[in-house]
Structures are given as structure tokens and as C-alpha cells.
């Protein structure tokens, strides 16, 4: 009986999908952040004056009863946090060999990112 061939196109690929989903999510979140950055830049360039009232108007505009400015900013910030989580998690997995230290760093990263999102939402939605 011949040994199984573990290379080439017929190899058995199992496991965590080798990062394809993370790759796709990184690209989607990057596009969301890029589009939001362009929208924000256009809004800043179209401001008649750079005052606090005009700055808050960028995040506080409505379409009908829907707070579009706050929704877009929240979506962009969540995309930023998700993008950062994937990148930092990969750094911890690649360079921290001790499982205990890696787990601690990942938990601290999650706590920091969740805290950042909550703090962001608290500030933005109180405008």
C-alpha cells in the first residue's frame, strides 16, 4: 500500500481553512474604513468653517428618522476594531510561543477592543 501523497493539488487540507475567512474579512473591513475615510474627508472639505457645531454635524445627520451619520461612524469603528483584532491576533499567534502568555495577550486585546467600541459608542451616541 502506497503512502498518502501530502503535497500538490490532491493533498488533504483540513483545519481552520488556512486563514481564508480572515483574509476576506480583513479586505472587507479595509474597504469599509477606506470608504468611510473618503466620506469623512469630503465632509470636512465641504464644511463652511471648522467649528464644533460643524464637526458634530458630520456625525449627527439624519435621513428621515434614521441617524445615518452615527450609524456609518459606528459601522466604521466596528470594522476598525475587527480589522485590528485579526491583525493583532495573528501577531500573537505568530510570535508568542508560550500558550499561556498568548492567551493572556489575546484576552487583554479583546478586552481593550471591546472597551474601545463601548467607549466610542457612548461618546458618539450621546451627541
Q: Which residues contact 101 (CB under 8 A, 6 or more apart)?
A: none
Angle at 105 between CA 102 and CA 111, to 5 degrees: 140
95 is in an annotated binding site: yes
83 is in an annotated binding site: yes
DSSP three-state, residue 2: coil
> What is the residue-wise DSSP string for 33-76?
HHHHHHHHHHHHHT-SS--HHHHHHHHS--BTTB-HHHHHHHHH
Report the binding-site residues for a ubiquinone: 95
Report the binding-site residues: 83, 95
Report the binding-site residues for heme: 83
Amino acid at each position: 500500500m502506497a503512502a498518502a501523497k501530502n503535497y500538490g493539488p490532491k493533498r488533504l487540507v483540513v483545519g481552520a481553512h488556512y486563514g481564508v475567512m480572515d483574509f476576506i474579512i480583513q479586505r472587507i473591513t479595509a474597504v469599509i474604513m477606506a470608504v468611510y475615510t473618503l466620506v469623512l474627508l469630503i465632509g470636512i472639505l465641504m464644511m463652511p468653517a471648522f467649528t464644533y457645531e460643524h464637526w458634530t454635524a458630520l456625525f449627527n445627520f439624519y435621513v428621515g428618522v434614521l441617524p445615518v451619520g452615527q450609524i456609518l461612524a459606528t459601522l466604521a469603528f466596528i470594522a476598525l476594531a475587527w480589522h485590528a483584532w485579526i491583525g493583532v491576533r495573528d501577531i500573537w499567534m505568530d510570535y508568542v510561543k508560550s500558550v499561556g502568555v498568548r492567551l493572556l495577550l489575546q484576552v487583554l486585546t479583546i478586552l481593550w477592543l471591546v472597551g474601545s467600541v463601548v467607549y466610542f459608542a457612548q461618546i458618539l451616541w450621546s451627541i
